[in-house]
Structure 1
Amino acid sequence: SDGPALNTDGGGLSSNHPGMRGIFLLIEAARQLRGQSYSQINNPKLAVAHGNGGMLGSRHSGGTIILAGD
């Protein structure tokens, strides 16, 4: 299909707490780039994962990572 593949692990709507979602996105991104995902896409070159939640002082935290395959 056209465009990037999204939520290749099925998403987290009913599977976990929103504050924990980021680590599962990072795991799925690494699996895609390694060719080890249960819903593998063809020849991925880049993966992006973003998570938010948790507290750092009086503010919420968030992070985004961009991964590249070999």
Structure 2
Amino acid sequence: MEKFKEYFSVERELETIDWEEYMKFNEIYPLLEFEIEGISKEELKELREKIKSYYNDKILYIKLIGTNKLTE
């Protein structure tokens, strides 16, 4: 809460706030979560390694989840 107060202690117009700066200041990072059906843990690890070079994990979190389809 203190960081929030500190950030907005400077007068700012809501329309002109640099939201990327705000998120960095308050250490808020977006999370992208993907659920992939029928993928093994090994395949998830391989996929993570393939996409890792395309994003900055200091400003964005990517969560990969494997799911199994239940059959009746």
- Structure 1 length as normaliser, TM-score? 0.28
Which of structures 1 and 2 has the larger relative contact order (alpha carbons within 8 angstroms, sep 6+)? 2
Higher helix share: 2
Higher strand share: 1
- Structure 2 length as normaliser, TM-score? 0.28
Please say which structure displays the higher CA radius of gyration.
Answer: 2
